[in-house]
Structure formats: C-alpha cells, structure tokens
Structure 1
Amino acid sequence: MVSAAHVKESRTTHIHSAIAIAFSFSGLTRLGCMETREHPFPTPFRSGMGSDVRALLLRDNPRKWRWADVDGDGIARGPVHVLIAEWTEKDAESPISDVDEKVFCVIRVENDPCSFRKIEGETEEKLHEAFGFRDGLAQPVIQGLRQDDGVGLSKAKAEAGPLYEDRVVSPGEFILGYRNEYDELAYCPNVEGWTESGRAKHPGGRFALNGSYLAVRQIEQDVAAFDAFRALHGKEVCEKMMGRQVTGLPLGWDPNKPMSDSKADAFRFRVEDANGFTCPKGSHIRRVNPRDTLGVDVQSSIKSTKLHRLLRRGRPYREESNGETRKGIFFIACNADLERQFEFIQQRWVRNPSFVNLHADDPFVGSSDPKTFPKSFSMPGLASGEEVSLATFTATLGGGYFFLPGIAALNFIVGNESALKSAASEVAEAAVS
C-alpha cells in the first residue's frame, strides 16, 4: 500500500512497488462491512455496473469478464468482488502472496508488453493503445497536489500558459470527503462498527474519507477490423475519428514540432474549431471531454465540464489463448460520484446518438442501437460534409464499480478477522459444492 505520505516521500526516496485494493459492494458486505442506515453507499455502487438498471443506463451489458475459465469457454459471468492493482519494478518480487485459485475465482490482467513503445517522430517510449494511438493524455490536475516548485511557475504551467487552469479540478471530484467543484464536501458513507476515534464529525461519516470509487471495464479491441478500416480510408480519417494525431498531438498542429504532454493538452474548441472542421464534433476526444463547447460561453463551459472529469488509468492488455491473440484496454476511472461523472459521460456524451445533434454514436465505443443509428462518422469540410461507414471496433466484456478505501478504512477491513475467515469459508464451501 502507498499512502499520501509515501507519495510525498517518493520525490526523494525510490518506491519499488505499490498496491491498490478495491472492493465491490458485495465484496465489502461479505467481509462484514455493513453500511449504516444514516450514511449508506450510493445507489450505483450498491447495485453494481452489471445490474439490469445500470445496463439500461449505460446501454451495454458488461458481465463477461475474460480469463476466468468458469464455464470452459474462458469467460466469467459472475461479479468480481475484489480488485488488486499491483505495480512493481522490472524483476522486482511481487508483494502479493500466491492466491488459492481453488477457492477464489481469479482474473489476471497483464499489461501488453508492446504498449510502451517508440513510434516514428518520437524520441522516447510512450504508452500506446492497441489501435496505435498515444494513450494517457488529457488527465485532470488535482488542485493542491501539484504545487509550484518554489522558484516560479512549474514547467507544466509555463508550457500550457493560462489554459493550464482548464485542467485543474477540485480534489473532491476524485477523493471522498474533500471539496468538490460545487464547493461541497464529497459525501462519505459509513459502515457499522466504525468509530470516529475522537476526531471531528464529518458530514456523511468518516469510513470512506480519503477513498474513491473506481469504474472498471474490460474493453476488447478488434485490431484486425481497425487495421482493415485504416487501410481502406487512411490514417487521416482514423485520426479524425479519435480527435488526435497518432502521436497524441491535437489535429492541425505541426506533427514535427516536439511537444510536451502539458502543452499538447492546452487547447480549446469554441474559438479555434467551433464547427469541427479540424477536429469533428463527434470525435472520441470531444465526446469524453467537450472542454469549452457545451455552455453559453467559454468559462461556463469549462466549469460545467469540470463537474464530469475522470482520473483515468487505462492499461492495454494482450492475451494469448488457443493460438488467438486478443487485445484491449483495462479501463479504470477514479471518481467521487459515479452518477455525475462516469455514468453521465457514458450516457449523455459517449453513448448518446443525439450528442450535439449528430444522430451518431462514438466512433470507438460502439452503437447504442445500430438499427436506429447506423455506425457512421461525419467529417465537416465539404459542402455536404463527408461521412464514412464504421465497423464495430470495440466490445465491453466485463465491468464493475469498486470502492478504493483509504489506509484507515483498509486497516479496518483487514482487522475484521472473524468476517474475513467467515467469507473465505463460504467461498471455499461454495467451490467444493
């Protein structure tokens, strides 16, 4: 585990490994953590991403995690209760002990070893997803965590200029118990048996303080279909669909000019590209982050968009099975309000065929109703616009909502030994029967 103190210490002391552990609502209850009546967990987390009501809202059915050979077909159809994300240096010993896979259904996700690579025009290896695009850009900056260096403006601020503030988001949008963009303390659920330890009361309890919610999805990418599409229509059309160049630079920017990540994220749409002639309105990046385009003016738009930002940690994966190679992204988004952040983006922007009156879906995420809204993509420029027909490039396999506890809450969960033993016993009995 790595606490905030360890992160601060890491600036001067090297960290060799780190672990994050998150639990589904069912996972918490099986471990004896029962929500209180006064401060329960939010409805989306309680019902889970794979529930019928969430499936209707999200317009998909993420219940088929791959890797767990439950029914002999490599697909797990049951829910996932515990998520463990491990990072270790190369050749370092894993801090996680062996798991008894006879007792627990284990889904292992390994990073694609080819995801970090150097492509033409780049000077160093960077993260790329399976379709070849630079990944991990356009992340929000949590206010208060990245301060000036004491000498002047940080390098990132200097490079991005005044547009740097477009990315600065209140910590309560990602961390429970802190001020959010409404200037309110993000709601914290409580569990039975949790004590305040003499500290001041916090609205909604303190068990979830310093925690967060994770929206997790296993998204499989059809690389062969995308390669065929690119061969037919060209790289430029694919970049229009994504909204960025393969290198991560905004469309229309000089591809030969070296650019930092901070500078490459310092742009707006309303003035420079209001009609989408350079970056089409329906492109993937404009749907997941409309920036300054959806309000009555620039500032109100940016303020509105900050209410729906995600701290995204996607990891490309690669799986070899029966001579077949499968690739995709293990999507992880950190947010404090699943409805207002992840679900809003998914429902109102990404999977909404009426987004900015386009009558089309996100070119990479999939159609919500292919019969009513055929898979197509419009590129303004010609008098009548240019449109291409799309294949389905991705499929959401498994998905879930998880609570990522703070250190104090995690210690409380681990310290509940009797519940832990009882849960393990139940799982073992179910496995035997």
Structure 2
Amino acid sequence: MKVPHLSDQLDDIQGMIGTGYGWLYTSRFWLLTIRDGSENQARKWLSGLAHSGLVGSAAHVRESRAKPIKEAVAIAFSYSGLTKLGFKETEAHPFPSPFRSGMGSDLRALLLKDRYRQWRWSDVDGAVCGPAHALIAEWSERGARPPVPDIDKEVFCSIKIDNDPCAFHKGNGDEEERLREAFGFRDGLAQPVIRGLRVEESDGLKRAIRDAGTLYDDRVVAPGEFILGYRNEYGELTYCPNLEGWTGDAGHSDGRFGLNGSYLAVRQIQQDVKAFEEFRAAKGKEFCEKLMGRREDGKPLSWKGDPDASVSDSEADAFRFRVDDGNGFGCPKGAHIRRVNPRDSLGIDVKSSIKSTKLHRLLRRGRPYLEQRKDEAPRKGIFFIACNADLERQFEFIHQRWVRNPNFGCLHDQDDPVVGSAGSHKKFSIPGLPSGDELSLEALTQTLGGGYFFLPGIKALQFIVEHGAGMPLDDPG
C-alpha cells in the first residue's frame, strides 16, 4: 500500500482542518435533520453547497496570506446522516464504534459521565428535532451576508447556532482583536500544530517558533492524530473506514473513503455568566483565574514577564507544569487547562509526559455563541468542536479520564471546575490556602446537546452529495 504524502493531499482536505478562520469574525453553525421523504432534495441542496466554492481546502488556507479567504464553509455528517442518505459501510472496514453508536447514545452517556443529560439535540433518535444528520459550519467577515442560504424548512428540520458578535474584541494592551469566551478569558490558545501542514518557510511559522523557543516542539503532533490515513504518534497509519460503492483514489490507504477525513466531537455548552460574575464578585479575579488555569489575557499563571504585555498565541502556550509549577501553587492541579492538556505533568519525566499527552490532543474549531430568547436575557456559551482521528483515544479519553475524573492528579472527589458534571457544590482545592481549604462551586456550565460527525475529504464529500441522487436509497450503488 502506498502511504500518502500530506503535502500532495492538501486539495482534498477540508480547510477547517488547517485553520479556525480566526480572521473571519462572524460564524454560524447549522444542525440539519433530513425530513422523511426529502432525501433526494437534501442531496440536491447539499450538492449545491458543496460545489459553491465555499468549501475551501487546506491548500486554499495555505494561500490565504496572498489570497485572503473572505468566507468559508465546512460540511460534516453523523452516522445516522450517512445512513439516512442511503450509504452503507463495508463489512471489512466499518466506522468505529463511538461514531456508529453516536455521542447521544446511552452507552456514550455512561462513558462520558454525562449523568444529568437534558439535551435539546443529539446525533441519535430521541431529540426534539430528530437526530442531527449534518453539521454545516460557516465563517464570514464581520457585517457580510452569511454564505449559507436560508435552510429549506420543507426539506430540513434545523437548529441554528448564532455567532456572539462580541466574542472578538480588544482587551487592555491588545494590539488586535482577540477571541474571548463568555466568562471573559482569551480563547483559542494551546492548539496543537499538525506536522507538515504549515508552510515551513512561512513568516507565521517562523514567528511561532521564535515566540515559543525550545518549547515549540511540545505542540507539534503527527498528522495521523487528526487526519485519517496518515501516521499518528504511534507511528501507525490511522484507520480509514470505507463505504460501499466508493471508487476513490485507489493509490492510497487501500482506496478507502475515509482518507483525508476527520471525526468531530461537538457539544453545545451553555455558560452561566451570571453565576460566574457572582463568584468573581465574591472571590475576586485571582480565584477565577485559578479555576481556569490562565490569566484573563491568556498568559499562563506562571508568567514571569511584563504583566501588561500583549503576547502571541505561541508565546502564551510556551510553558510546562512539571518544570514551572510541579506542586500546583501557581496553577492548581485541578484547573481546567491542566485537565484538558496536562503537558509534562503525568508521566515519570518531562519527555515521557509530553509524548503521552500528544496521544490525547484535540484540534479545536468551535466558537462562542449567543442565543437570543424572547423576554429573557441572552444566553451565551461555546459551540465546542474538536477534530480527532480516534474518538475513544482522544476526545473520550480526555473527557472521562481527565476532565471528569474525580481523582485526576492525585485529587479526591473533584472534577473540572468549568465543564465538569452538572451537579451542584463541586469541590475545587487551591494549594496555599489555610489548611488546604477547598472551594465549593455551583455548576458554571450546562451541555445542551452533542454529537459525533465525520468531516470527509473533499472527494469523499462530493461522493456523498452526488452518489445515489435520484436512485432508491436502499441501492446507493
């Protein structure tokens, strides 16, 4: 079997893998359920969107400095969506179990420790609007007309997740607008870098390496951790599923449908801004930063430089826990950022810890959202999207073993103070308080929905929207 070279496949990788489109300040997400009997109309609508030129590739992202991208779209499908459109996986190469069962299933609820689910939507039957069959993500310039046309209500039942227009703004000392989530913290930091995806000679990469110094390599992760068909951190080719009738590029990965795709773990997380502001008023800014594990401006709590300086994403991510703060006196061991990315703190030494952590990284592509409700205050939150090639080893491992593990880092009866389980009176300990005092917290977030989606390569996307159009759904070939 011929192993693909990433640089030769950039035209077939959706642009969402290569960037979060941080220069496009407006975003919107659609969760689409195909109505019974409307499968062919849905294919036609999706085909028009897929061929509109809006679904950019990783190659387009590379060229964006010279040819700025002003609007972009990504399209992904749940397992129930692929089934609804009449596709069947092959017996030899089926989709992995988490994707097939769906995040909304009872089994995944148990594994993810979602004890108090009251979801509005999911990727399986039982939600108010039926299972979400497709996810459409769109980005555009501020004030521009949204790139995705209005959804045909006769064809789709839809849920729209709107952009928070205040998510990008300048903080004190910022030279440019930065993304901030609803609690006021700078967001989008600590992103892994996919080895070989960025232009090695680019000015942006040179600046990132300069800002992070010797710690830059801590962020660099093998492409197979996020893109199917490439070598991962184990040195193995990431497994590619296949669909019946697929006749794609037979020269790579046995010609399987999954090449250049990725799995998306998606959760709509509502943030209780009022409760957080009340906590901040009672305890102070410093305690809030301890919960998150960062300063509001994105700097690590171990920052030794100018406290008012504006720092780049790469510079803000250049730190380690074991070396800088082994006992958690600066950043508590149970803080949010320490749980989702333990860096060098969990292995027997720095090298083994970083190597282990690279097996469980996520590429985040979500955005803050704003929900306007009649006669109520607006509700804010994060529409969380994580790209990963192995849902069990990456998203589910992090969620189960780190975020919601009550004994993480030798703690006892504690989980993530920000996105932990929904029960009240959560505990959070801060080293250095008298007698090791613990804080008691109310839940600050609530998950409103979630699902697993497959982000196909561009050839595979075209196959989905074109293959079987006008034919009986039980005969996709």
State the TM-score, normalized to the length of structure 1: 0.90
Change in 2 beyond 3 A, CA 1:347/1:77: farther
Change in 2 beyond 3 A, CA 1:185/1:107: same
Count residues with an aligned counterpart.
412
Residue identity in the other structure for 2:384: F
> Which residues in structure 2 correspond to 1:142-157 (within 5 Å)?
142-149=194-201, 154-157=206-209
SS at match of 1:305: helix
**Identical aligned residues as a percent:** 66
Contact 1:63/1:78, CA 8 A, preserved across alignment: no
Q: Tell me which residue corresponds to 2:439.
A: 388
Q: Distance in 2 between matches of 1:102 and 1:64?
A: 24
Q: Deviations over 1:209-267 (max 9, x none)?
A: 00000000000111111111111111100000100000010114242133221111000
SS at match of 1:36: coil
SS at match of 2:160: coil
Q: Distance in 2 between matches of 1:142 and 1:6?
A: 16
Cα displacement (A) at 1:366: 2.6
RMSD, aligned α-carbons: 2.2
Cα displacement (A) at 1:57: 0.5
Q: Tell me which residue corresponds to 1:42.
A: 96
Change in 2 beyond 3 A, CA 1:169/1:62: farther
Q: Distance in 2 between matches of 1:115 and 1:269?
A: 29
Residue identity in the other structure for 2:184: G
Q: Deviations over 1:307-345 (max 9, x none)?
A: 000001221111111221111110000000000000000
Change in 2 beyond 3 A, CA 1:392/1:152: closer
Q: Tell me which residue corresponds to 1:241.
A: 291
Q: Tell me which residue corresponds to 1:111.
A: 163
> Which residues in structure 2 correspond to 1:64-103 (within 5 Å)?
64-65=119-120, 76=128, 78-103=130-155
Q: Tell me which residue corresponds to 1:335.
A: 388
Cα displacement (A) at 1:94: 3.8
Cα displacement (A) at 1:77: 5.7
Q: Tell me which residue corresponds to 1:375.
A: 426
Contact 2:265/2:391, CA 8 A, preserved across alignment: yes
Equivalent of residue 279 in structure 2, options 210, 213, 229: 229
Is the deviation greater in 347-356 or in 151-160?
A: 151-160
> Which residues in structure 2 correspond to 1:32-431 (within 5 Å)?
32-60=86-114, 64-65=119-120, 76=128, 78-149=130-201, 154-197=206-249, 199-200=250-251, 202=253, 205-253=255-303, 254-324=306-376, 325-359=378-412, 360-367=414-421, 374-382=425-433, 384-418=435-469
Residue identity in the other structure for 2:381: G
Residue identity in the other structure for 2:120: W
SS at match of 1:299: helix
Q: Distance in 2 between matches of 1:8 and 1:52?
A: 41
Residue identity in the other structure for 1:49: M
Residue identity in the other structure for 2:427: S
Q: Distance in 2 between matches of 1:420 and 1:48?
A: 27
Q: Deviations over 1:143-198 (max 9, x none)?
A: 0122432799711101111100000000100000011101111100000001145x
Residue identity in the other structure for 1:85: A
Change in 2 beyond 3 A, CA 1:328/1:66: farther
Contact 1:177/1:210, CA 8 A, preserved across alignment: yes
Stretches of structure 2 lacking an aligned partner (at least 5 in a row) = 1-54
Q: Distance in 2 between matches of 1:5 and 1:308?
A: 26
Contact 1:307/1:341, CA 8 A, preserved across alignment: yes
Q: Deviations over 1:20-55 (max 9, x none)?
A: 000000100111221000000000000000100000
Q: Distance in 2 between matches of 1:111 and 1:153?
A: 29
Contact 2:129/2:157, CA 8 A, preserved across alignment: no
Q: Distance in 1 between matches of 2:427 and 2:209?
A: 38
Contact 1:32/1:419, CA 8 A, preserved across alignment: no
SS at match of 1:108: strand
Is the deviation greater in 1-10 or in 186-195?
A: 1-10
Cα displacement (A) at 1:17: 1.6
Residue identity in the other structure for 2:467: N
Stretches of structure 1 lacking an aligned partner (at least 5 in a row) = 424-433
Q: Deviations over 1:108-134 (max 9, x none)?
A: 111100111122332322111111111
Q: Distance in 1 between matches of 2:465 and 2:471?
A: 8
